Amino acid sequence: MAGNNRIPKAELTGIYGAILKRMSRKMLGDVAEPLAVMWHNRKVLNFSFSISRKAQQWDQCDKNLKSYAHMAVASLVGCSFCLDIGYFQGRNEGLDMTKAREVPRWRESDVFTPLERDVMEYAEAMSHTPPTVTDEMSARLLDQLGAPALVELTAFIGLTNFMTRTNTALGIESQGFSAACGLPPLAARSPA
């Protein structure tokens, strides 16, 4: 659970801080720890918000596929905050929760379609250092999604890596949003 931040949380102050606290509590039931940590550098916080808002407007790739990709990256990188918030938000956005729960062990689970598996494989391959994306992976997704959706998915996974790796490096962990709303625990990631 939350509380192991490598940079202490800052008090969200002023009108902007009050607005952020109110919005976070309304959406999540609590103030998200990344907000309080990033409050130390508002330019970075504003950049994160700005790019996230713009990415939410992208509409060439199915939002469920992007959700599974996000959770697959979070599971691989070890960002428990991102995995928890993705699971929580998925519930609120109509994502198939049986599938969402299984993302950490997507390779062993039988609930995913071949396309969903290809998306999660691609998301993980993009997230390795160095990336392990193959021509075959890209070709399969290009055939199934088309160029506009694949470009969007690729950029979305890149942004997901920015967020998950930032949170992980800062020591931001799950706040238990999904548990607070009664979702069953996520499946445990299988050892690689």
Q: Is the dihedral of CA 116, 117, 121, 122 positive or negative?
A: negative
User: Hey, what CATH topology would domain 14-180 get?
Assistant: AhpD-like (1.20.1290)
pTM score: 0.92
pLDDT of 3 reads: 59
For residues 92 and 185, is the Cβ–Cβ distance under 8 A?
A: no
| DSSP 8-state code for residue 171 | T
Show pLDDT as tens, one digit a residue, over the chain (192 residues).
455 789 999 999 999 999 999 999 998 889 999 999 999 999 999 999 999 999 999 999 999 999 999 999 999 999 999 999 988 888 878 899 999 999 999 999 999 999 999 999 999 999 999 999 999 999 999 999 999 999 999 999 999 999 999 999 999 999 988 887 777 778 787 666
First-last CA distance in the chain: 24
Determine the residue type at 41.
Answer: N
CA-CA-CA-CA dihedral for 190, 120, 165, 50, to nearest 10:
-150
pLDDT of 192 reads: 62
Query: For residue 96, how many other CB atoms are within 10 A of its CB?
Result: 15
For residues 178 and 84, is the Cβ–Cβ distance under 8 A?
A: yes
Q: Which long-range contacts (CB under 8 A, 24 or more apart) does 94-102 make?
A: 95/64, 95/67, 96/64, 97/183, 99/68, 100/67, 100/68, 100/71, 101/183, 101/184, 101/185, 101/186, 101/187, 102/187
Between CA 29 and CA 34 the distance in angstroms is: 15
Which tokens hold the place of 94?
């109509």
Q: Where along the chain do its domains lie?
A: 14-180
For residues 2 and 33, is the Cβ–Cβ distance under 8 A?
A: yes
